[in-house]
Protein backbone atom coordinates (compact mmCIF):
# COMPACT_ATOMS: atom_id res chain seq x y z
CA UNK A 1 0.00 0.00 0.00
CA UNK A 2 1.38 3.42 -0.98
CA UNK A 3 2.18 6.12 1.57
CA UNK A 4 -0.70 8.25 0.29
CA UNK A 5 -3.21 5.41 0.66
CA UNK A 6 -1.86 4.61 4.11
CA UNK A 7 -2.24 8.24 5.11
CA UNK A 8 -5.81 8.39 3.86
CA UNK A 9 -6.69 5.18 5.69
CA UNK A 10 -5.07 6.46 8.89
CA UNK A 11 -7.05 9.70 8.65
CA UNK A 12 -10.29 7.79 8.06
CA UNK A 13 -9.55 5.58 11.07
CA UNK A 14 -8.95 8.62 13.31
CA UNK A 15 -12.18 10.27 12.12
CA UNK A 16 -14.13 7.05 12.64
CA UNK A 17 -12.68 6.61 16.13
CA UNK A 18 -13.70 10.13 17.06
CA UNK A 19 -17.18 9.79 15.55
CA UNK A 20 -17.83 6.48 17.31
CA UNK A 21 -16.68 7.88 20.66
CA UNK A 22 -18.44 11.25 20.27
CA UNK A 23 -20.41 12.39 23.30
CA UNK A 24 -24.02 13.51 23.11
CA UNK A 25 -22.88 17.15 23.29
CA UNK A 26 -20.41 16.64 20.46
CA UNK A 27 -23.10 15.02 18.31
CA UNK A 28 -25.40 17.99 18.92
CA UNK A 29 -22.64 20.42 17.95
CA UNK A 30 -21.88 18.40 14.82
CA UNK A 31 -25.56 18.45 13.86
CA UNK A 32 -25.78 22.22 14.39
CA UNK A 33 -22.65 22.83 12.31
CA UNK A 34 -23.99 20.54 9.58
CA UNK A 35 -27.29 22.44 9.57
CA UNK A 36 -25.51 25.80 9.30
CA UNK A 37 -23.30 24.53 6.47
CA UNK A 38 -26.32 23.13 4.62
CA UNK A 39 -28.15 26.45 4.98
CA UNK A 40 -25.11 28.26 3.60
CA UNK A 41 -24.88 25.98 0.58
CA UNK A 42 -28.65 26.16 0.13
CA UNK A 43 -28.48 29.95 0.19
CA UNK A 44 -25.85 29.87 -2.56
CA UNK A 45 -28.11 27.62 -4.67
CA UNK A 46 -31.09 29.93 -4.09
CA UNK A 47 -29.04 32.98 -5.05
CA UNK A 48 -27.72 31.23 -8.16
CA UNK A 49 -31.33 30.51 -9.13
CA UNK A 50 -32.11 34.22 -9.11
CA UNK A 51 -33.90 34.55 -5.75
CA UNK A 52 -33.09 36.47 -2.58
CA UNK A 53 -31.07 34.02 -0.48
CA UNK A 54 -31.22 36.09 2.71
CA UNK A 55 -34.99 36.38 2.50
CA UNK A 56 -35.27 32.64 1.79
CA UNK A 57 -33.24 31.56 4.81
CA UNK A 58 -34.82 34.12 7.14
CA UNK A 59 -38.29 33.02 6.01
CA UNK A 60 -37.40 29.37 6.60
CA UNK A 61 -36.37 30.17 10.17
CA UNK A 62 -39.23 32.61 10.78
CA UNK A 63 -41.77 30.11 9.51
CA UNK A 64 -40.65 27.66 12.21
CA UNK A 65 -40.04 29.86 15.25
CA UNK A 66 -40.73 33.45 14.19
CA UNK A 67 -43.82 34.02 16.33
CA UNK A 68 -46.13 32.12 18.66
CA UNK A 69 -48.42 30.96 15.85
CA UNK A 70 -45.55 29.62 13.76
CA UNK A 71 -43.96 27.96 16.79
CA UNK A 72 -47.25 26.27 17.66
CA UNK A 73 -47.55 24.92 14.12
CA UNK A 74 -43.96 23.68 14.21
CA UNK A 75 -44.53 21.90 17.52
CA UNK A 76 -47.77 20.45 16.19
CA UNK A 77 -45.99 18.90 13.22
CA UNK A 78 -43.12 17.79 15.45
CA UNK A 79 -45.49 16.10 17.91
CA UNK A 80 -46.95 13.97 15.14
CA UNK A 81 -43.53 13.17 13.69
CA UNK A 82 -42.13 12.21 17.10
CA UNK A 83 -45.00 9.80 17.76
CA UNK A 84 -44.93 8.20 14.32
CA UNK A 85 -41.11 8.29 14.34
CA UNK A 86 -40.90 6.27 17.54
CA UNK A 87 -43.45 3.83 16.08
CA UNK A 88 -41.06 3.21 13.19
CA UNK A 89 -38.04 3.11 15.50
CA UNK A 90 -39.54 0.32 17.64
CA UNK A 91 -39.87 -1.94 14.61
CA UNK A 92 -36.64 -0.96 12.86
CA UNK A 93 -34.59 -1.39 16.02
CA UNK A 94 -35.97 -4.89 16.37
CA UNK A 95 -35.00 -5.68 12.78
CA UNK A 96 -38.55 -5.54 11.39
CA UNK A 97 -39.29 -3.09 8.59
CA UNK A 98 -42.67 -1.58 9.35
CA UNK A 99 -43.42 0.64 6.35
CA UNK A 100 -47.12 0.58 7.29
CA UNK A 101 -47.17 3.22 10.01
CA UNK A 102 -49.29 5.49 7.80
CA UNK A 103 -51.97 2.82 7.49
CA UNK A 104 -51.88 2.06 11.21
CA UNK A 105 -52.12 5.81 11.84
CA UNK A 106 -55.23 6.00 9.64
CA UNK A 107 -56.91 2.98 11.25
CA UNK A 108 -56.14 4.21 14.77
CA UNK A 109 -57.55 7.66 14.07
CA UNK A 110 -60.67 6.15 12.52
CA UNK A 111 -61.25 3.88 15.53
CA UNK A 112 -60.83 6.85 17.87
CA UNK A 113 -63.36 8.82 15.82
CA UNK A 114 -65.93 6.03 15.94
CA UNK A 115 -65.51 5.77 19.69
CA UNK A 116 -66.16 9.48 20.19
CA UNK A 117 -69.09 9.75 17.78
CA UNK A 118 -70.93 6.67 19.06
CA UNK A 119 -70.22 7.13 22.77
CA UNK A 120 -70.84 10.88 23.01
CA UNK A 121 -74.67 10.59 22.86
CA UNK A 122 -74.55 8.14 25.77
CA UNK A 123 -72.77 10.56 28.09
CA UNK A 124 -73.76 13.95 29.53
CA UNK A 125 -73.48 16.77 27.00
CA UNK A 126 -70.89 18.68 29.02
CA UNK A 127 -67.15 19.02 29.51
CA UNK A 128 -67.25 16.35 32.20
CA UNK A 129 -67.56 13.79 29.40
CA UNK A 130 -64.42 14.95 27.60
CA UNK A 131 -61.90 12.90 29.55
CA UNK A 132 -63.72 9.54 29.35
CA UNK A 133 -64.44 10.08 25.66
CA UNK A 134 -60.79 10.86 24.85
CA UNK A 135 -59.62 7.97 27.03
CA UNK A 136 -61.96 5.64 25.15
CA UNK A 137 -60.71 7.03 21.84
CA UNK A 138 -57.09 6.44 22.84
CA UNK A 139 -57.79 2.85 23.92
CA UNK A 140 -59.63 2.07 20.69
CA UNK A 141 -56.83 3.66 18.66
CA UNK A 142 -54.21 1.59 20.49
CA UNK A 143 -56.23 -1.59 19.89
CA UNK A 144 -56.97 -0.90 16.22
CA UNK A 145 -53.45 0.27 15.38
CA UNK A 146 -51.93 -2.67 17.24
CA UNK A 147 -54.17 -5.17 15.46
CA UNK A 148 -53.39 -3.64 12.07
CA UNK A 149 -49.68 -3.79 12.88
CA UNK A 150 -49.88 -7.37 14.12
CA UNK A 151 -51.42 -8.51 10.82
CA UNK A 152 -48.26 -8.10 8.67
CA UNK A 153 -46.22 -9.44 11.59
CA UNK A 154 -48.22 -12.68 11.56
CA UNK A 155 -48.03 -12.84 7.78
CA UNK A 156 -44.25 -12.58 8.05
CA UNK A 157 -43.64 -15.25 10.66
CA UNK A 158 -46.35 -17.76 9.73
CA UNK A 159 -46.62 -17.33 5.96
CA UNK A 160 -43.17 -16.03 5.04
CA UNK A 161 -44.57 -12.80 3.55
CA UNK A 162 -42.15 -9.92 3.23
CA UNK A 163 -43.25 -7.25 5.70
CA UNK A 164 -42.12 -4.40 3.44
CA UNK A 165 -44.52 -5.49 0.70
CA UNK A 166 -47.42 -6.32 3.01
CA UNK A 167 -47.20 -3.11 5.04
CA UNK A 168 -47.06 -0.98 1.90
CA UNK A 169 -50.15 -2.74 0.56
CA UNK A 170 -51.94 -2.38 3.89
CA UNK A 171 -51.38 1.39 3.77
CA UNK A 172 -53.49 1.61 0.62
CA UNK A 173 -56.07 -0.83 1.96
CA UNK A 174 -56.51 1.23 5.13
CA UNK A 175 -57.01 4.47 3.21
CA UNK A 176 -59.41 2.87 0.73
CA UNK A 177 -61.57 1.07 3.28
CA UNK A 178 -61.77 4.04 5.64
CA UNK A 179 -62.71 6.34 2.74
CA UNK A 180 -65.47 3.93 1.69
CA UNK A 181 -66.90 3.74 5.21
CA UNK A 182 -66.77 7.51 5.60
CA UNK A 183 -68.43 8.14 2.27
CA UNK A 184 -71.06 5.40 2.55
CA UNK A 185 -72.06 5.46 6.20
CA UNK A 186 -70.60 8.39 8.15
CA UNK A 187 -70.96 11.39 5.84
CA UNK A 188 -73.63 13.76 7.24
CA UNK A 189 -76.61 14.33 4.96
CA UNK A 190 -75.93 17.16 2.54
CA UNK A 191 -72.17 17.25 3.23
CA UNK A 192 -70.07 17.92 0.14
CA UNK A 193 -66.95 16.15 1.38
CA UNK A 194 -66.58 12.65 2.91
CA UNK A 195 -66.20 13.93 6.47
CA UNK A 196 -67.79 12.70 9.66
CA UNK A 197 -69.75 14.95 11.97
CA UNK A 198 -67.73 17.34 14.11
CA UNK A 199 -66.78 16.09 17.54
CA UNK A 200 -68.67 17.72 20.44
CA UNK A 201 -67.23 21.11 21.30
CA UNK A 202 -66.00 19.91 24.66
CA UNK A 203 -63.88 17.09 23.14
CA UNK A 204 -60.35 18.35 22.60
CA UNK A 205 -57.10 19.19 24.31
CA UNK A 206 -56.89 22.58 26.05
CA UNK A 207 -54.63 25.13 24.41
CA UNK A 208 -52.81 26.15 27.61
CA UNK A 209 -49.54 27.76 26.41
CA UNK A 210 -50.54 28.51 22.80
CA UNK A 211 -53.77 30.00 21.51
CA UNK A 212 -53.91 27.59 18.61
CA UNK A 213 -57.09 25.69 17.68
CA UNK A 214 -55.05 22.75 16.35
CA UNK A 215 -52.23 22.39 18.86
CA UNK A 216 -52.01 21.76 22.57
CA UNK A 217 -48.84 21.44 24.57
CA UNK A 218 -50.48 18.35 26.05
CA UNK A 219 -50.21 16.72 22.61
CA UNK A 220 -46.46 17.27 22.68
CA UNK A 221 -46.48 15.90 26.21
CA UNK A 222 -48.18 12.71 25.00
CA UNK A 223 -45.47 12.29 22.35
CA UNK A 224 -42.62 12.85 24.82
CA UNK A 225 -44.17 10.52 27.40
CA UNK A 226 -44.51 7.83 24.75
CA UNK A 227 -40.83 8.24 23.83
CA UNK A 228 -39.84 7.90 27.49
CA UNK A 229 -41.89 4.73 27.97
CA UNK A 230 -40.55 3.15 24.77
CA UNK A 231 -36.97 4.02 25.73
CA UNK A 232 -37.32 2.47 29.17
CA UNK A 233 -38.94 -0.68 27.79
CA UNK A 234 -36.45 -1.12 24.93
CA UNK A 235 -33.28 -0.27 26.85
CA UNK A 236 -33.99 -1.11 30.47
CA UNK A 237 -36.08 -4.29 30.45
CA UNK A 238 -35.56 -7.91 29.52
CA UNK A 239 -38.61 -7.72 27.29
CA UNK A 240 -37.00 -4.95 25.24
CA UNK A 241 -33.78 -6.94 24.97
CA UNK A 242 -35.73 -9.95 23.72
CA UNK A 243 -37.45 -7.80 21.10
CA UNK A 244 -34.16 -6.58 19.68
CA UNK A 245 -32.51 -10.00 19.87
CA UNK A 246 -35.39 -11.72 18.09
CA UNK A 247 -35.06 -9.37 15.14
CA UNK A 248 -31.30 -9.38 14.72
CA UNK A 249 -30.09 -12.65 16.27
CA UNK A 250 -32.86 -15.21 15.94
CA UNK A 251 -30.63 -18.22 16.77
CA UNK A 252 -29.45 -16.53 19.96
CA UNK A 253 -33.05 -15.70 20.87
CA UNK A 254 -34.08 -19.33 20.40
CA UNK A 255 -31.13 -20.51 22.46
CA UNK A 256 -32.14 -18.26 25.34
CA UNK A 257 -35.69 -19.63 25.30
CA UNK A 258 -37.39 -16.78 23.44
CA UNK A 259 -39.90 -17.50 20.67
CA UNK A 260 -38.63 -15.13 17.92
CA UNK A 261 -41.81 -15.47 15.85
CA UNK A 262 -44.00 -14.39 18.74
CA UNK A 263 -41.64 -11.51 19.54
CA UNK A 264 -41.74 -10.24 15.95
CA UNK A 265 -45.54 -10.15 16.10
CA UNK A 266 -45.34 -8.33 19.42
CA UNK A 267 -42.90 -5.83 17.93
CA UNK A 268 -45.24 -5.05 15.07
CA UNK A 269 -48.16 -4.83 17.50
CA UNK A 270 -46.38 -2.29 19.70
CA UNK A 271 -45.30 -0.29 16.66
CA UNK A 272 -48.88 -0.27 15.37
CA UNK A 273 -50.25 0.74 18.77
CA UNK A 274 -48.04 3.83 18.84
CA UNK A 275 -49.03 4.70 15.28
CA UNK A 276 -52.69 4.28 16.23
CA UNK A 277 -52.21 6.61 19.20
CA UNK A 278 -50.74 9.18 16.79
CA UNK A 279 -53.87 8.82 14.66
CA UNK A 280 -56.08 9.48 17.68
CA UNK A 281 -54.06 12.59 18.55
CA UNK A 282 -54.39 13.79 14.96
CA UNK A 283 -58.16 13.33 14.99
CA UNK A 284 -58.72 14.93 18.40
CA UNK A 285 -56.13 17.70 18.50
CA UNK A 286 -55.91 18.74 14.85
CA UNK A 287 -59.09 17.76 12.97
CA UNK A 288 -61.97 17.59 15.43
CA UNK A 289 -63.64 15.14 13.01
CA UNK A 290 -62.42 12.56 10.48
CA UNK A 291 -61.94 12.93 6.76
CA UNK A 292 -60.63 11.27 3.61
CA UNK A 293 -57.30 9.66 4.64
CA UNK A 294 -55.90 10.32 1.17
CA UNK A 295 -55.78 14.03 2.05
CA UNK A 296 -53.87 13.52 5.32
CA UNK A 297 -50.26 14.61 5.80
CA UNK A 298 -47.83 11.75 5.23
CA UNK A 299 -46.62 11.59 8.83
CA UNK A 300 -46.24 7.81 8.67
CA UNK A 301 -43.93 7.96 5.67
CA UNK A 302 -41.94 10.98 6.90
CA UNK A 303 -41.48 9.09 10.17
CA UNK A 304 -39.21 6.62 8.37
CA UNK A 305 -36.72 9.41 7.68
CA UNK A 306 -37.12 10.70 11.24
CA UNK A 307 -36.31 7.28 12.69
CA UNK A 308 -33.36 6.72 10.38
CA UNK A 309 -31.95 10.15 11.22
CA UNK A 310 -32.26 9.23 14.90
CA UNK A 311 -30.43 5.93 14.25
CA UNK A 312 -33.64 4.20 15.45
CA UNK A 313 -32.99 5.48 18.96
CA UNK A 314 -36.24 6.48 20.72
CA UNK A 315 -34.57 9.44 22.43
CA UNK A 316 -32.96 10.54 19.15
CA UNK A 317 -36.42 10.71 17.58
CA UNK A 318 -37.14 13.87 19.62
CA UNK A 319 -34.52 16.17 18.02
CA UNK A 320 -35.06 14.50 14.66
CA UNK A 321 -38.80 15.13 14.89
CA UNK A 322 -38.22 18.74 15.92
CA UNK A 323 -35.89 19.23 12.96
CA UNK A 324 -38.36 17.76 10.47
CA UNK A 325 -41.23 19.68 12.07
CA UNK A 326 -39.27 22.92 11.80
CA UNK A 327 -38.36 22.26 8.17
CA UNK A 328 -41.97 21.40 7.37
CA UNK A 329 -43.27 24.57 9.02
CA UNK A 330 -40.59 26.75 7.44
CA UNK A 331 -41.10 25.21 4.02
CA UNK A 332 -44.85 25.75 4.14
CA UNK A 333 -44.35 29.35 5.25
CA UNK A 334 -42.07 29.98 2.28
CA UNK A 335 -44.67 28.46 -0.02
CA UNK A 336 -47.29 30.89 1.31
CA UNK A 337 -45.18 34.05 1.37
CA UNK A 338 -42.45 33.83 -1.30
CA UNK A 339 -42.62 33.30 -5.04
CA UNK A 340 -40.10 30.46 -4.93
CA UNK A 341 -40.66 27.15 -6.78
CA UNK A 342 -41.63 24.34 -4.43
CA UNK A 343 -39.00 22.13 -6.05
CA UNK A 344 -36.29 24.55 -4.94
CA UNK A 345 -37.67 24.64 -1.40
CA UNK A 346 -37.80 20.84 -1.24
CA UNK A 347 -34.27 20.62 -2.62
CA UNK A 348 -32.83 22.91 0.04
CA UNK A 349 -34.72 21.08 2.80
CA UNK A 350 -33.45 17.77 1.45
CA UNK A 351 -29.92 19.16 1.48
CA UNK A 352 -30.28 20.10 5.15
CA UNK A 353 -31.53 16.60 6.02
CA UNK A 354 -28.67 15.03 4.06
CA UNK A 355 -26.03 17.11 5.85
CA UNK A 356 -27.49 16.39 9.27
CA UNK A 357 -27.79 12.68 8.52
CA UNK A 358 -24.29 12.33 7.04
CA UNK A 359 -22.44 12.17 10.40
CA UNK A 360 -24.79 9.42 11.62
CA UNK A 361 -24.31 7.52 8.37
CA UNK A 362 -20.53 7.82 8.73
CA UNK A 363 -20.79 6.68 12.34
CA UNK A 364 -22.85 3.65 11.27
CA UNK A 365 -20.32 2.84 8.55
CA UNK A 366 -17.52 2.96 11.09
CA UNK A 367 -19.43 0.72 13.48
CA UNK A 368 -20.12 -2.01 10.93
CA UNK A 369 -16.87 -1.88 8.95
CA UNK A 370 -13.21 -2.05 9.85
CA UNK A 371 -12.90 1.74 10.10
CA UNK A 372 -11.55 2.74 13.47
CA UNK A 373 -8.21 1.12 13.99
CA UNK A 374 -8.71 -0.14 17.54
CA UNK A 375 -12.00 -1.95 16.91
CA UNK A 376 -12.54 -5.55 16.09
Q: What is the pLDDT of residues 318-370, one digit of tens each?
A: 999 999 999 999 999 999 999 999 999 999 998 988 888 777 666 666 555 55
Q: How far is CA 368 from CA 8, 20, 50, 172, 363, in A?
A: 19, 11, 43, 35, 9
> How many whole angstroms separate alpha carbon 42 and alpha carbon 37?
8
> How many whole angstroms separate alpha carbon 311 and alpha carbon 179?
34
What are residue 318's phi and psi, to 5 degrees? -65, -60
pLDDT of 246: 76
What angle, rounded to 10 degrees, do the helices at 317-337 and 342-368 form?
A: 160
329: left (phi over 0), alpha (psi -120 to 50) or beta: alpha
Strands, DSSP E only, in the chain? none
First-to-last C-alpha distance (Å) of the chain: 21
Angle at 174 between CA 171 and CA 178, to 5 degrees: 150
What are residue 34's phi and psi, to 5 degrees? -65, -40
| Residue range 272-276: mean pLDDT, rounded | 98
Q: What is the pLDDT of residues 7-47, one digit of tens each?
A: 666 666 666 566 556 665 666 777 778 888 988 999 999 99
One-character DSSP codes across 284-304? IIIISS---GGGS--HHHHHH
pLDDT of 1: 53
> How many whole angstroms separate alpha carbon 205 and alpha carbon 284?
7
Q: What is the pLDDT of residues 107-165, one digit of tens each?
A: 999 999 999 999 999 999 999 999 999 999 999 999 999 999 999 999 999 999 999 99
Domains and CATH numbers, the chain: 1-51+342-376 (no CATH), 68-339 (1.10.3470)
Instruction: With beta carbons less than 8 A apart as the criterion, state whether 132 and 123 touch.
Output: yes
The pLDDT confidence band at residue 376, using thresholds 50, 70 and 90, is very low
Strands, DSSP E only, in 136-284? none
Report the SS3 class of residue 206: coil
pTM score, whole prediction: 0.90
> How many whole angstroms separate alpha carbon 7 and alpha carbon 43?
34
Q: What is the pLDDT of residues 48-88, one digit of tens each?
A: 999 999 999 999 999 999 999 999 999 999 999 999 999 99
Residues in the chain: 376
Amino acid sequence: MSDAATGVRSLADRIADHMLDASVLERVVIALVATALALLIGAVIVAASGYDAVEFVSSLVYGAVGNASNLAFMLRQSSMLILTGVAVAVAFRAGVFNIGVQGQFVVGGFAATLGILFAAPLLPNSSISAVPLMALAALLALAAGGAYGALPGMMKVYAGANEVITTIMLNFIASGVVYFLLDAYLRPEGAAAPNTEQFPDYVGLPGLVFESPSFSILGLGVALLTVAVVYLVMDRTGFGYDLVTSGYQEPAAKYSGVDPKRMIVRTMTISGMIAGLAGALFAIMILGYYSDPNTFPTFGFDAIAVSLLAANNPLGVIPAGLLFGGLDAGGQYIGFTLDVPSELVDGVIGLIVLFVAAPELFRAAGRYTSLGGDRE
